[in-house]
Structure 1
Amino acid sequence: MPLAVLVAGMFMSILDVTIVNVAIPTIQNDFGTTVEDVQWVANAYTLALGVVVPLSGWLGDRFGHGRVYILSVLGFALGSALCGISWDLNSLVVFRIVQAIPGGIIPVITLAMVYRIVPREKIGTAMGMYGLGIVFAPAVGPTLGGYLVEYVDWRLIFFINVPIGVLGAVAAVLALPSFPPGRAGRFDVWGFLAVASGLFALLLALSEGESWGWASYRVVILLIYSALSLALFVVIELEVDEPLLDVRIFRHWQFTNSLLLISLMSVALFSGLFYVSLMLQQAQGLGAFETGLVMLPQALATAVTMPIAGRLYDRLGPRLPAVVGLILVAVGTYLMTDLRVETPREHIMWLLVLRGFGMGLAMMPIMTGGLAAVPPHLVSRAGAFNNVVQRTSAALGVAVLTAMLTGHQAQMMADRGALVPATTAPPALGSPGTPSLLGLYAWYQQTNLQVYVAVLDEIFLVTAVISVLGVLGALFLRSSVRAAPGPPAAPAEPAPAEASIPSPRPAPDAGPSLRAQPAAVGADGQESRRPGG
């Protein structure tokens, strides 16, 4: 029950990211604004996440993970209600920032709490359930969002979070065990300013690079400032006694390798969702809800596979499911390089299902295998790194691939236009044997769509290569499950068998008077008893 409560809360926070993207055109029409301005509904949320996510681990250790989780769920519900009653674009952007603050905290806090309430030998199965929010929520977002936007009202995509958030907070109070504050230490102000400003600048450059121009003065300055700020953050964290995010965690190769693989998978996941959706809507003329229905089987395939992947991790370790899953993603993506304007929707759907099986099989073993190499008291900080890498790599991948798409599309249209000599006189419209103006426009539009889909095929080829690189990286994962580094556990006794830190009390004799259930060790190194002991 505690695990179900945590997964539901995180699913709500991540679902909001993709479900809002579907409503962007409708919001633009409702508020009568430009495309560039309405994009700030999504960009403001992303930028706020980059600021708050590094702070999440420290907040959990300082005030207690349970308390921070409950307040974050309620805060997310409040922010969603404010977004639903927004009266213009400016108010909606401000309320999206308010919504993003608890929305960025929830996934990090949830991950740390999962590691505290689940026995180590079952952590793979638990992470398979946890992963539904990371992979399944973005995939199901277009379907749910498309239905609400087309048949109800776009404001409902925000209002729907209010009752879910309130019920989730009540369930958390009733079901979650006690999570006392841990070893938070003094707040690292300078480290926070460095990493927050660096991530803000990076995400802003990635969000506005297409409209401002990647070689423009503003984008170049933002990228340089981001690189310098993040480098300064590393220096600060290596010097202070109580770092906000301990960068020494990257000494654990398994964790570093898992972050590299997560970044590659995030690019493959979100670029597939983004560009397939574009193709279905722009090249085949589907609506938002119809597009979501085509992509829904992929989400269902992922949902079915992730719990299986968790059980495989518990038995076999991360290497085998990760390698097989990434191979499926690479094959499914490569087969999409042959798409055409007239490709049947059923064919696209089955290719997406193949990718969904691969994503569900690989994502959680990779993440869990990396976290298994981290000391227990650093899991919450490692979760913050995971969250930052997922969001920045997805934004970076989509931005770079979109720049490639725009450039190649313009070049291919110019190449086809060059096939007609400049000295060729245009046909006299209306004369016998010549097409009408409407016919010429239809030819141009058809050519433009064919070029667009051809360039998308090139993007899918690049994504397939990225997935192959992930397969190579997955070969370096451990082939068996190992406990996270830390003091050895005590011999088999009725006392806490899962604890990695010896209890200062003498172990009691086995007997019927022993009523305490096994204790789980928290991210702060402390024990937390489950209800019922």
Structure 2
Amino acid sequence: MTRSVDNAGRPFNRTLFTIVVLIGMFASNINQTILAVAQPTLMQAFHIPASSAQWLSTSYSLIIGVMTPVTAWLADNKSSKTLFEWAMGFFLLGTTLCYFANSFAALLGGRMIQAVGGALLAGIGTTMLYSVYPLGQRGTVSALMGLVFGLAPAIGPTFSGWVIDRFEWHDIFGILLPLLAVAFVLGLYGLRSVVMVNRAKLDWPSVFLSALGFGSLLYGFAVVGTRGWLDWQVLGGIFCGAVLVAWFVWRQLHIATPILKMTIFKAPTYRIAVVITALSQIAFAGFEFVLPLYLQTVRGLSAMNSGMCLILGALVNAAMSPVTGYVFDHYNAPRMIKAGLLIMLLGTIPFAFVTAQTPVVTVVLLYAIRSLGFSAVQMPITTLGINVLPPELISHGSSGNNMMRYTASAIGTAILISVQQNVANTQAGHVATLADPQALLGGYHVAFALVAVLLIIALVTALRLSTKDKEARA
């Protein structure tokens, strides 16, 4: 079962192929949260506020969200092996620039180049794995990617915290360089072109509408923390972005060669899956950004210790991924997804009531409960949505899902940080600092409560998933 054939009919080792793709996807996903606990350190190093430091994480998700629609066209028109190697090349370049960065602008530039590689990996990596595993083994794909999508972002804060406490922040990127280099070299020998090429002319107006639309939308949300909800840049960015994104969608529906085929949204299960993916991603990525800040600013934990508080959740996620993959292939996936959302919700609600004296072990256990639920949701719901699409639409279904996931991550993180800061500032009567722990705590309470509300919406949406055996296995 480890031998497969590429587009030219030549056999290759599927195990090596899968390992290389997963390494690339791991690098892309760990970089989403790798700077979460490094925020205070970077703020001191570059003398910048939290709202500016946020851009190091937000811009990463922003660029991936902007580029993802184009990756569907790239997957249809270019060799999947070539695209993957280009992605790893961008990652190597961006990570190298981050390692040698001596200013905030240089670090931000390196992160943005990393994000270009991440966007390509997010689109082509998922499509490549779904293309080499038959429908009956998609649960295996779900389990493998669940390890990456769940474990990598959770390990990110712990890893960066360990590095900062023992070395310096540059080494966060330096330690990753050998892994990326190995993946790049292995890709030259182990990867094959497995996604069918269906060449079509690139519609440049769609590219510009996508970039400007998603870019403006995400920019508007990203500057909320510094400018407030009534600022003209915030309102203008969100309004212009929404109009351009709507125009982009309209154009995809009315041209012969769209870069993202909107027919994927005709499948009810896929539509529901995308909504749940977006909501659960905010509840996961946004939460992982806020929780370390609570642990450091209110509880006084070091970057290393705040990251260690997330490691049990990462291990739970890793341990559960094979289980959820097996359940997906052999039992009822929609019921598992609904149960996972409920578990995430039950693990989130208590965070809205944490105090400066709440035992750290309680925080660790609650986070582990959330991770248990997340492992039963994110990749299973993605796979459930992809499974209802025909083979020729897999690349577009993957890109559509990733577009929503990364866009939701960027917008959600920005909103949660904005809400936390605004509430803290209001309670403090001025710009809240480390000298105002109670005001900061009040902000965290509201941010955690907002995550719980999003999970309730996701759970209600999941009730529309069919639990009939035939549809559940798709």
Q: Normalization by structure 1: what TM-score? A: 0.80
Distance in 2, Cα, partners of 1:327 & 1:212 = 35
User: Is 1:477 aligned to 2:465, yes or no?
Assistant: yes
Q: Deviations over 1:456-508 (max 9, x none)?
A: 334333322322222222222233355999xxxxxxxxxxxxxxxxxxxxxxx
SS at match of 1:234: helix
**SS of aligned partner of 1:77:** helix
The SS at the match of 1:255 is: helix
CA distance in 2, matches of 1:484, 1:116: 18
Report the equivalent of 1:420: none
Aligned partners of 1:315 and 1:481 also within 8 Å: no
Report the alpha carbon displacement of residue 305 of structure 1 after superposing the two structures with TM. 1.0
Question: Which amino acid is 1:310 matched to?
Answer: G
- CA change 1:252–1:291 in 2 (3 A) is same
1:502-524 Cα distance to aligned partner (Å, 9 max, x none): xxxxxxxxxxxxxxxxxxxxxxx
Q: Which residue is 2:282 aligned to? A: 267
In the alignment, is residue 88 of structure 1 matched against residue 103 of structure 2? yes
**How far apart are the structure 2 equivalents of 1:175 and 1:269?**
33
Tell me the C-alpha RMSD between the 2 structures. 2.4
1:198 corresponds in structure 2 to 213
Change in 2 beyond 3 A, CA 1:79/1:455:
closer
Pick aligned residue for 1:311 from 310, 313, 326: 326
Alignment pair present for 1:164 and 2:169: no
**From 332, 341, 356, the counterpart of 1:341:** 356
Instruction: Find the aligned partners of 1:152 and 1:412 in 2 and give their Cα distance.
Output: 36
Q: How many angstroms apart in 1 are the aligned matches of 2:333 and 2:466? A: 6
Where does residue 379 of structure 1 map in the other structure?
394
**Alpha-carbon offset, residue 45 of structure 1:** 2.9
Greater shift in the superposed pair: 209-218 or 162-171: 162-171
2:271 aligned partner: 256
Matched, 1:226 2:241: yes
Q: CA deviation at 1:264?
A: 1.2
Is 2:41 aligned against 1:26? Answer: yes
1:394 counterpart (364, 386, 409)? 409
Q: Does 1:207 align with 2:222?
A: yes
Say if 2:58 and 2:414, in contact at 8 Å, map to a contact too: no
Question: Per-residue CA shift, 1:338-376, capped at 9, x if unaligned?
Answer: 311101100111111111100011212111111111121
C-alpha contact 1:60 1:109 (8 A) present in aligned 2? yes
Corresponding residue of 2:316: 301
Mapped contact 2:142–2:325 kept (Cα < 8 A):
yes
Q: What is the aligned partner in structure 1 of residue 7 from structure 2? A: none
Amino acid in structure 2 at the alignment position of 1:476 = R
Question: In the alignment, does 2:425 pair up with 1:464?
Answer: no
Give 1:286's aligned amino acid: L
Post-superposition Cα deviations, 1:139-161, rounded to whole Å, max 9, x if no partner, equal 11100001112211211222223
Shift of the 397–66 alpha-carbon distance from structure 1 to 2, 3 Å rule, reads same
Distance 1:27 1:484, change over 3 A: same
Asked whether the 8 Å contact 1:143–1:292 carries over to 2, the reply is: yes
Instruction: Tell me the alpha carbon deviations over residues 65-118 of structure 1, each in whole angstroms, 9 at most, x when there is no partner.
Output: 122112211321122112212233333222322222112110210110011111
Q: Is the 8 A contact 2:285 2:413 kept in 1?
A: yes
Give the secondary structure class of the aligned counterpart of 2:244: helix
| 8 Å contact from structure 2 (residues 313, 364) kept in 1 | yes
One-letter amino acid matched to 1:278: L
Tell me, in whole angstroms, the C-alpha distance in 2 between the residues paired with 1:43 and 1:275: 13
Shift in Å, 1:314: 0.5
> Could you tell me which residue of structure 2 aligns to residue 452 of structure 1?
440
How many angstroms apart in 1 are the aligned matches of 2:86 and 2:442? 48
Aligned partner of residue 476 in structure 1, secondary structure: coil
User: What is the aligned counterpart of 1:292 among 281, 304, 307?
Assistant: 307
Does residue 1:75 correspond to 2:90, yes or no?
yes
Task: Name the SS of the counterpart of 2:365 in structure 1.
Answer: helix
SS in 2 for 1:284: coil
Identical residues among aligned pairs (%): 27
In structure 2, what residue type is equivalent to 1:208?
V
**Alignment CA distance shift 1:115-1:278 (3 Å):** same
Cα separation, 2, equivalents of 1:231 and 1:467: 26
Distance 1:51 1:408, change over 3 A: closer
Instruction: Say whether the 8 Å CA contact 1:120–1:483 is kept in structure 2.
Output: no
Q: Distance in 1 between matches of 2:117 and 2:133?
A: 24
CA contact (8 A) 1:301 1:353 kept: yes
**CA radius of gyration, larger in:** 1
User: Is 1:102 aligned to 2:117, yes or no?
Assistant: yes
Letter in structure 1 aligned against 2:260: L
Whole-angstrom CA distance in 2 between matches of 1:396 and 1:455: 18
Bigger mean CA offset, 207-216 vs 80-89: 80-89
For structure 1, which runs of at least 5 residues remain unmatched after alignment? 418-443, 486-533
Q: What is aligned with 1:61?
A: 76
Distance in 1, matches of 2:396 and 2:333, equals: 21
Residue 152 of structure 2 is aligned to residue 137 of structure 1 = yes
> What residue identity is the alignment partner of 1:233?
F
Structure 1 residues 101, 224: CA separation in 2 closer, same or farther (over 3 Å shift)?
same
C-alpha separation between the residues in 2 aligned to 1:410 and 1:21?
21
1:120 maps to 2:135 = yes
| Conserved? CA contact 1:373–1:483, under 8 Å | no
C-alpha distance in 1 between matches for 2:172 and 2:378: 27
Residue 150 of structure 1 is matched in structure 2 by: 165
AA in 2 matched with 1:382? G
Distance 1:341 1:174, change over 3 A: same
User: Structure 2: any 5+ residue segments left out of the alignment?
Assistant: 1-14
Q: Specify the code of the residue in structure 2 equivalent to 1:194.
A: L
Note if contact 1:63-1:181 (Cα within 8 Å) is conserved in structure 2: no
- Indicate how the Cα distance of structure 1 residues 251 and 181 shifts in structure 2: closer, same or farther if over 3 A, else same: closer
- Aligned partners of 1:28 and 1:34 also within 8 Å: yes
Paired residue type of 1:54: P
**Which region of structure 1 is more displaced relative to structure 2, 246-255 or 73-82?**
73-82
Q: Give the corresponding residue for 1:355.
A: 370
Q: CA deviation at 1:413?
A: 5.0
For the Cα contact (< 8 Å) 1:127–1:364, is it kept in 2? yes
Q: Name the amino acid aligned to 2:340.
A: G
SS at match of 2:61: helix
User: Following the alignment from structure 1 to structure 2, what is the Cα–Cα distance between the partners of residues 408 and 25?
Assistant: 20
After TM superposition, give the deviation of residue 214 of structure 1 in Å. 1.4
> Quick check: 2:340–2:373 contact (8 Å CA) kept in 1?
yes
**Is structure 2 residue 251 aligned with structure 1 residue 236?**
yes
Query: In the superposition, relative to structure 1, how do residues 481 and 163 fare at CA in structure 2: closer, same or farther (>3 Å)?
Result: farther
Q: Is the 8 A contact 2:290 2:417 kept in 1?
A: no
Supply the distance in 2 between the matched residues of 1:260 and 1:153 (Cα, whole angstroms).
39
2:271 maps to a residue whose letter is: T
